[in-house]
Amino acid sequence: MEEGWLLNADYVTRNNRAIVRLWIVSGENRLVLLDKNFEPYFYVIPERDSAEMEVERFVEKVEWTRRRDHGREVEVLKVYARHPQEVPRIREEISKLPSVREVREADIPFAIRYLIDKGLIPCGVIEWSGEELPSGEIEVSEILPVEKGTSDPPFKVMAFDIEVYNPHLSTKPERDPIIVISCCTNTGESKLFLAERKGGNSDDRGAIKEFISFVKSFDPDVIIGYNSDNYDWPYLRSRCEIVGIPLEIGRDGSPPKFRGGARRRIKIVGRANVDLYRVAERDLGEVKIKTLENIGAHLGIDFEKAEIPKDKIWEYWDSEREELLQYALGDSLLTMEIGLRLLPLQYEFSRMIRRPLDEVYAMGRGKQVESYLINEAYSRGELVPQKPRELERESYEGALVLKPKKGLHENVICLDFASMYPNIMIAYNISPDTLCKDCSEEEAYVAPYVNHKFRKEPPGFFKEILQRLIETRKKIKAEMKRYPKNSEQYRVLDVKQSTIKILTNSFYGYMGWSGARWYVKECAEATTAWGRYTLLTVVEMARKKGIEVLYGDTDSIFVLNSDKVQEFLEEVNRELPLELEVKGLYKTIFFTEKRKRYAGLLEDGSIDVKGFEVKRGDWSELAKEVQEEILRVILVERDPNKALEYVRKVIRELKDGKIPLEKLAIYKTITKELKEYKSIQAHVMAAMRAADLGRQIDPGTKIGFVVVKGSREKVRERAIPVEEAKKEEIDVQYYIEKQVLATAHRILKHFGYSKEDLLDRGQVSLMDFLGR
């Protein structure tokens, strides 16, 4: 049998039959496998015996089989259709029959159904035997998964980016040509495809043709971009339509398929398209403004890239082209560097949840958990529940957050329950199939406060899955200790354990999502109830030991460190079915009177910040910079007077016009079409002004605006795009009061300073604050 890596799966229709098509990477070869012997099917749960005869009228074939439904064995009809495209119509017709209780699994895509049933793993290795057809495709007679895939797949990767001529600030395909298409590959190649000058205009036909030719010759398995789903691909498609060039970059010669609306996804036949912006948006929440450069810096990529103002690209094309070309190529090279760091986790998720790479990157965590559960359900003979037709947003009480003891504290230890919610689900057998209303208290675990019951035996669907995931991760972490941290073996294992951790910790969120197939409110409600009970129990145990508790949130508590803490840890881990461990030791930590808002200096010198504006994206860079520096001075230097003088210095620089406009800009994202906004906030008003000036504003566009002086009282009426602002127009008083003072005083008021002090005078020492 032959071997290769599974890149993607789809199906084609030939002679009115659906044929599964697998795209394979085998050494230097790119192969297409065909399986003509797989039929689309779904299940019907009958209401009465006549269902078989009634269902047969609509389909090719029906057979009885046994499955499990929430753990209970049931007899169901397995219903086969002629073609996948007929399934939605047949499902609707059958659902109306009085003899049918429910239709299941009719909405699982045909190619995904094939991967599930065959046990094939995308981004993993498969083996097959078969016959090569005159077309070069291989018709398989046997196909099997191979237990390999412990390294990154040997895929060829290409990064690309486009630059558009933009003298009007906004860009419109019918008016503005593409002037540069830059590409680079993971094999070290880099290319620039340039528009031609014709008269006073630029003609992008040649550049587009060369780009398409390069895609075909390099033949990438994976194409990556940054915000390419929302900008580069749609723009390129529109330009191709305008200049009459087919964008035939699929391995079968087809153009990209565009799916979805504002959250579009691009499908390229035989390849995997991955928009790294979507990956960063989901996985790198700590980076608030997700520019390509910010993501690169966050990932520790040392990359010097030419800087050109976005609205000046057309000027550089006309007069300083060499600098523009360096800038354009830098975008592709940085995209590739980011891809090399982000793709391994996406490969591992693809393997784990059994979905192709070009689906995984765009899936939310809930969808990823659900895909994993669908595969697990098949292997256990369990029917997959239907998607909820209407999302019923039922509320229930969530996690417990204790009131913090405000002020500055020294030598504080944070104790944390590892994977609290997954371990609660395991400890108390919380699963949709174990929920019971009429079982006795001896037979069941009873959730505190809400009294939901869950059978102690047998182990539930969720419990068995979570136990295996956690046990697998422990084994991987143990194996990691055998290798140096800078080795390839360590890196690969670390990606695997990270994938399992993310998936495991996403289970509770999935279970509490009302759009989930396996949503049961009682399960989510019981999990948080046991979480609250556990936290309160631990706090009480600490106080009995004479340990001062400063704060608690969901799965962790902050306590003053002492020689009693180790004994306390051991006692908790003996008495409770969860494991409490040390998460961090703070030299100093500062709590405000508000929950979920603190900053602390850790042993390694790093500052851990939660809940302050420095971690949020709706303040100016200046406000964030001010608050970061104040926290550093207080936590590291322990000198609030120095922090006070720093604030006064910033205010003087603001008044003197010494603060750059870029630091005053506030960036927010437009989440829907401008005409759909009913409440017009400042960033929306600025976006409307930008649109009036010709800039294209779509959902997902990030708007930078500043507040200028004027007679109008409302801030939103004085918000203009930062590109249109002049330094002398800035409303300095707004920035002093609403940005600098508002953020600085949140911290410094706890050291005895008023806003008037920040503007002028007043000194309080750290010893005064600590009461010493």
CATH number of domain containing 688:
1.10.132.60
128 and 191 belong to one structural domain: no
Which pLDDT score is estimated for 692? 81
133 and 253 belong to one structural domain: no
Structure letter (DSSP) for residue 547? P
How many domains does the chain fold into? 4
106 and 165 belong to one structural domain: no
- Contact yes or no for 627/612 (Cβ under 8 A): yes
- Contact yes or no for 734/719 (Cβ under 8 A): no
589 and 720 belong to one structural domain: no
106 and 189 belong to one structural domain: no
Sheet of 435-436, strand order: 435-436, 453-455, 444-446
- Contact yes or no for 686/721 (Cβ under 8 A): yes
543 and 412 belong to one structural domain: yes
Last-in-domain residue among 86, 115, 146:
146
- CA dist 500 and 348 (Å) reads 9
Identify the burial level of 217 via C-beta atoms within 10 angstroms of its C-beta, where 0-12 means exposed, 13-18 middle and 19 or more buried: exposed
Pairing of strands 719-721, 702-707: antiparallel
Which pLDDT score is estimated for 312? 86
- CA dist 720 and 703 (Å) reads 10
- Contact yes or no for 674/639 (Cβ under 8 A): no
SS3 566: helix
> C-alpha 98: how far from its chain's center?
43
Is there a domain that residue 349 lies in? yes
CATH number of domain containing 531:
3.90.1600.10
| Residue partners of 235: CB distance under 8 A and separation at least 6 | 162, 164, 171, 173, 178
- CA dist 574 and 553 (Å) reads 22
Is there a domain that residue 400 lies in? no
81 and 139 belong to one structural domain: yes
Which pLDDT score is estimated for 155? 97
- Residue whose C-alpha is closest to residue 583's, from 599, 597, 567, 602: 602
- CA dist 243 and 55 (Å) reads 51
The token pair that represents 549 in the structure block? 């508790």
Which pLDDT score is estimated for 769? 44
DSSP percent split of the chain into helix, strand, coil, nearest 5: 40, 25, 35
217 and 298 belong to one structural domain: yes
- CA dist 736 and 760 (Å) reads 13
Ramachandran quadrant class, 25 (left: phi over 0; alpha: psi -120 to 50; beta: rest):
beta
As a three-state string, the secondary structure of 248-275 is CCCCCCCCCEEECCCCCEEECCCCEEEE
Last-in-domain residue among 146, 167, 192:
146
Compute how many other C-beta atoms are within 10 angstroms of the C-beta atom of residue 763: 12
Which residue is listed with tokens 């390839």? 488
SS3 518: coil
- Residue whose C-alpha is closest to residue 716's, from 700, 699, 703, 728: 703
- Contact yes or no for 586/601 (Cβ under 8 A): yes
With vertex at residue 495, the alpha carbon angle to CA 499 and CA 338, rounded to the nearest 5 degrees, is: 105
The token pair that represents 715 in the structure block? 């801030």
Structure letter (DSSP) for residue 548? P
- CA dist 475 and 465 (Å) reads 16
Q: What's the N-to-C CA distance of the chain in angstroms?
A: 78
- CA dist 47 and 52 (Å) reads 10
Last-in-domain residue among 607, 629, 660:
607
| Residue partners of 485: CB distance under 8 A and separation at least 6 | none
Helix (H) or strand (E) holding 754: none
Give me the average pLDDT of each 10-residue run along the chain (772 residues): 96 96 97 97 93 89 94 94 95 94 96 97 96 96 83 94 88 93 97 88 95 98 95 96 97 92 84 96 82 88 82 89 94 96 94 96 93 96 88 79 91 93 96 92 94 95 94 92 90 91 90 88 94 96 95 94 94 94 93 88 89 68 91 90 93 92 88 84 88 74 87 87 88 92 88 86 47 36
Is there a domain that residue 612 lies in? no
The token pair that represents 421 in the structure block? 């919610």
Which amino acid is present at 593?
Answer: E
571 and 651 belong to one structural domain: no
- Give buried/exposed letters for 641-673 (b at 16+ CB in 10 A, else e): eebbebbbebbeebeeeebeeebbbbbbbbeee
Identify the burial level of 696 via C-beta atoms within 10 angstroms of its C-beta, where 0-12 means exposed, 13-18 middle and 19 or more buried: middle
Which pLDDT score is estimated for 14? 95
- Contact yes or no for 336/184 (Cβ under 8 A): yes
Which amino acid is present at 362?
Answer: A
- Residue whose C-alpha is closest to residue 539's, from 525, 519, 520, 559: 559
Sheet of 556-560, strand order: 549-553, 556-560, 407-417, 580-591, 598-602, 607-610
Pairing of strands 702-707, 257-259: unpaired
Is there a domain that residue 527 lies in? yes
pTM of the full predicted structure?
0.84
139 and 161 belong to one structural domain: no
Which pLDDT score is estimated for 765? 47
SS3 544: helix
CATH number of domain containing 96:
3.30.342.10
φ, ψ (nearest 5 deg) of residue 354: 60, 40
| Residue partners of 38: CB distance under 8 A and separation at least 6 | 20, 114, 117
- Residue whose C-alpha is closest to residue 663's, from 629, 621, 627, 625: 621
203 and 292 belong to one structural domain: yes
- Give residue 238's domain range: 157-355
252 and 175 belong to one structural domain: yes
Q: 117-121 long-range contacts, Cβ below 8 Å, gap at least 24?
A: 117/38, 117/378, 118/143, 118/144, 118/145, 119/144, 119/145, 120/6, 120/9, 120/22, 120/145, 120/354, 121/6, 121/145, 121/149, 121/351, 121/354
- Contact yes or no for 363/345 (Cβ under 8 A): no
CATH number of domain containing 349:
3.30.420.10
